[in-house]
Amino acid sequence: MLMLLGWPARGFSQSAVTVATGDGPVAVALNTATNKIYVANNDSDNVTVIDGATNATTTVAVGTEPYAVAVNPVTNKVYVVNQTTNNVSVIDGATNATTTVAVGTRPFGVAVDPVTNKIYVSNINDGDVTVIDGATNRTSTVAAGIEPGALAVNTVTNKIYVANMESDNVTVIDGATDAAATVATGKDPVALAVDSVTNQIYVTSLQDGNVTVIDGATNNTTSVAAGNDPDDVAVNSSTNEIYVVDTCGNDPSCSGDPGSFGAVTVIHGATSSVHATPGATLTVVRRPEAVAANPATNRIYVPHNATQNMTVIDGATNKTTTVAVGDGPHALAVNPVTNKIYVANGGSASVTVISGE
């Protein structure tokens, strides 16, 4: 495991501003075509729309307990999963007008394929995925495993990957036919990321400390050790490096305790092996729960949920710096076009907007 040393990195230069949102921001998505950012506010039942050019905001009412959000930049539509009302709010990005689409019970995650204009919503209680036709809002259902959660789409192969938390596997949906296959993973798969360049899929298993690497062409798998409690995962498609946040790091007794230490594991995609750098030293951060990469700048961003900070990793050197954010940061999105990073601060009803170097 490569552990990241927390020394100041030359060449880093970030400025940050704070933008007020609704209560309990839990998810962020952005439209690079319009430079609009959408923040789902779980406790105030609305979405904050941020103008990326000015940071001015607009509020859009949605369903109850919005939990996840995704954007189709081609159609300029935004899809917001409302957990308690069992539906999805569809926001027209041009007008902010909304329509509602019924889905399954306790919807959890959402992913968009802008090529096919289909939207995929995982329904935890029903063990299935609702497929929304973006042109008509008509729906169909595909069976998945037990408690399907996170989803990811490979737009090149038209395959959709669904992490089934309680059946320890991933459902692979063929987007053309809705036929589904099952691939075994580690225990409690909670997050996944797709590298559409290499056609590899990376699935974190929270309970057994592994990342399952799925070959998208064959569905064959490889297991890579990634700490004690690997949570979120991000791919830097420009370098073929994969970044996995481990909520417990070198402390096997932490059991998710927010006061305990965490770390980042870097997997080299070409070999599915843990990247080793001479002289790399364990550094801990407190409760990392999310990670995102900017392939344009080769920077990786890891907010610490138990602090008001975020670690920025230089992907070329693995040196790090720390940027102050709000209280309880746990979700983020990166705009590679503008080189701005948006961090949702669940404890302070805000988004920190960071301008990268």
User: What are the pLDDT digits (tens) for 132-180?
Assistant: 999 999 999 999 999 999 999 999 999 999 999 999 999 999 999 999 9
**Residue 2: per-residue pLDDT:** 36
Whether the CB-CB separation of 161 and 151 falls below 8 Å is answered with yes
Topology (CATH level 3) of domain 15-355: Methylamine Dehydrogenase; Chain H (2.130.10)
Report the first-to-last Cα separation within the chain, whole angstroms.
28
| Cβ count within 10 A of residue 53 | 10
Burial per residue of 285-300, b for 16 or more beta-carbon CB atoms within 10 angstroms, e otherwise: bbbbbbbbbbeebbbb
Angle at 320 between CA 317 and CA 323, to 5 degrees: 145
Q: How far is CA 155 from CA 31, 86, 169, 188, 195, in A?
A: 17, 26, 21, 25, 10
pLDDT in tens, 43-98: 999 999 999 999 999 999 999 999 999 999 999 999 999 999 999 999 999 999 99
**Residue 137: per-residue pLDDT:** 98
The Cα–Cα gap between 159 and 178 comes to 9
| CA proximity to 216, closest of 204, 202, 205 | 202
pLDDT in tens, 261-294: 678 888 989 888 776 543 333 354 667 779 999 9
pLDDT in tens, 90-118: 999 999 999 999 999 999 999 999 999 99
| Cβ count within 10 A of residue 128 | 22
Rounded to an integer, the average pLDDT of 234-242 is 94
Whether the CB-CB separation of 41 and 58 falls below 8 Å is answered with no
Tell me the three state secondary structure of residue 30: strand
Rounded to an integer, the average pLDDT of 116-139 is 98
Give the strand pairing for 128-133 and 139-143.
antiparallel
**Residue 174: per-residue pLDDT:** 98
Averaged pLDDT score across all residues of the chain: 89
Whether the CB-CB separation of 137 and 101 falls below 8 Å is answered with yes
* Percent of the chain at pLDDT exceeding 70: 89
Residue with the two structure tokens 């890579």: 224
Ordered by start, the domain boundaries in the chain are 15-355
